[in-house]
Structures are given as C-alpha cells and as structure tokens.
Amino acid sequence: MQIWPTGIFASIDGGLGAGIESVQKLGVPTVQLSAPSAALRTAEDCAQIKAEFAAAGIQISVVFIGFPEDDYQTVEHVVQTVGLVPEGTREARLKETLEIADFAAALGVDAIGMHLGFVPGEPQDAAFQQLVEVTRAVCDHCRNQGQFFHLETGQETADELLTFIEAVGRDELKVNFDPANMILYGAGDPLEALDRVGAHVRSVHCKDASETRRADQPWYEDAPLGTGDVNIEAFLRKLNDLGYEGPLTIEREYSPDQAGDIASALKLLEGLRAKILG
C-alpha cells in the first residue's frame, strides 16, 4: 500500500460514520472501524465483515472502541463517563475491550484504539496506578495476538501522556494522534505535542478545530479540515519528518454536511500528499 493511504471512520452498526458502500463511493483504501456492539461481533459476523472489506479492497487499520455510556456533552461528563477511567464500569469495559481485541484479531487487524478517558492525577496517586494496571492488562492481551493499543490524544498534554506511557511501560501501547483534540481540550499546541509524542504515534486522525469559539458553539465541535487552527500542511510535514507512513484517517464529527466535508478533506489530503511526498 502507498505511503499515507487515506481513510475514514466506518461503522457497521449504522448511525456513526459510513457503511462500506459510502467508503467505496469515496474510494478510500483504509478505514478505522468503530467496534460494533456485542450482538454484531459473532464469528459469523466477523467472517462476513472480513470478506466484505477484503472484496472491496479496503484495509481496516484500527478497530476503535467506544462505550454506549460515553458522554461528550461537557468536559466534566467526559471525565465521569469516558473510557477505562470511570471506576464503576471499568471491569465490565475491560472485559469488553479484550473481547473487541479478539474480534479485531479475527478480522486480521493489528490495532485497537480508544479514548482511555482523562488520566487522573499524579503518578503517585492510587487512581493513576489503577489506570496503569488496567492499561497493562489490555496491552498484555494485545501482545499475545501481535496487536497494539492506540490511545486517542487530546485529554492530556503531551507531557502528561508521555508520563503515562512510560508508567505503563509496554511496547504495545501507542498513540492515535488527533491534533484537533489538543485544541478542543485546551491540551496544548498540537504540533508541539506531536514533536513530544511522535515516536509513539502509530495512527492519526486528520481533524481540525478552531481556537476561537462562537458563543453558542459546543466545546467539542470540530471544523472542516483545513479551516481550523491545526495547520494541516505543517501537521503532515511533521508526520513525514517523523517517518510516519500509515493511514491519514479523516475524522469529521459534528457537521451539517459531513459527507461534503469529508469529500473536501480527501481532496485536501491528496493534494498535500502529492505536494509533500512528490
């Protein structure tokens, strides 16, 4: 596959992102697949999904895990509900995460990704240590089947993320770098953050966001790629300098014209790829 194949999010549950027909229509060679619900993860489903994507010539680069109770309404809701951080749901979610890793392995996919949630406190805190332990459990499970565990960026500053990665101390732990999230969560300059965590990046979201917010704008609302404050060309040049050759996965979440914005984003990325890689 070429360097920097384009990609989008795909879903087979419907609702989130695009189904395989939309992916084919856009002509992208890769997707990050939102993990389907348990009811759609049987061996039969898995064989069918694998066959359909193979027949369409589309590579699934990462199976991305979310939970039905994840709530992004406010940053405080994120702290309370997202990922493996909330204690009340941690055990059940760990179990499901390992099941999804198995599902991904059966699909032949070597990475799972997740918003882990806000890493709590300082390394000496019990809550921090507990999150280290649960993350190690995911990594150790992944190692047995040659997989990686990609952490979505944004909630933490680059330094906090590095501290956490070092505390976990597992080679399977990687970063899915989302530059827009750094802006949306106020977690620091995205390109400076990429400099810091670049060695750990194994997948990216091509997503943009504006620093300036309208009075009525939800905090999480992203911007069409190339119209926000990420500086997509500089982002790609930095990825190139880091030797990153993996997929450029477009993420456009909150838009009245998601399909139109994704089509424009594809054009932008294809143009920049030609310009930068020659």
Restricted to residues 245-274, the positions that interact with Mg ion (CB under 5 A) are 251
Closer by beta carbon to Mg ion, 72 or else 128: 72
Closer by beta carbon to Mg ion, 71 or else 91: 71
Cβ 181 to Mg ion, closest distance in Å?
A: 6
Cβ 16 to Mg ion, closest distance in Å?
A: 12
Cα separation, 110 vs 30, in Å, equals 14
Cβ 220 to Mg ion, closest distance in Å?
A: 11
Closer by beta carbon to Mg ion, 93 or else 205: 205
Cβ 205 to Mg ion, closest distance in Å?
A: 4
Q: Which stretch binds Mg ion (CB under 5 A): 20-28, 171-179, 188-196, 226-234?
A: 171-179
Binding string, residues 141-160; x marks residues near Mg ion by CB under 5 A:
--------------------
C-alpha to C-alpha distances, 247 to 31, 65, 181, 265, nearest whole angstrom: 8, 18, 18, 14
Cβ 154 to Mg ion, closest distance in Å?
A: 7
Closer by beta carbon to Mg ion, 46 or else 158: 158
Q: Which stretch binds Mg ion (CB under 5 A): 69-77, 140-148, 177-185, 257-265?
A: 177-185
Q: Which stretch binds Mg ion (CB under 5 A): 27-35, 63-71, 173-181, 222-230?
A: 173-181
Cβ 140 to Mg ion, closest distance in Å?
A: 25
Structure tokens at 245: 């050759």
| 178 counts as binding Mg ion under rule CB under 5 A | yes
Cβ 61 to Mg ion, closest distance in Å?
A: 14
Number of residues that bind Mg ion (CB under 5 A): 3
Q: Pairing state of beta strands 6-10 and 248-250?
A: parallel
Closer by beta carbon to Mg ion, 174 or else 205: 205
Given a contact cutoff of 8 angstroms between Cβ atoms, the answer to whether 121 and 158 are in contact is no
Closer by beta carbon to Mg ion, 172 or else 222: 222
Alpha-carbon dihedral angle through residues 92, 165, 181, 248, given to the nearest 10 degrees: -100
Given a contact cutoff of 8 angstroms between Cβ atoms, the answer to whether 276 and 240 are in contact is yes
Closer by beta carbon to Mg ion, 23 or else 175: 175
Cα separation, 20 vs 11, in Å, equals 8
Residues 6+ apart with CB under 8 A from 163: 123
Q: Which residues bind Mg ion (CB under 5 A)?
A: 178, 205, 251
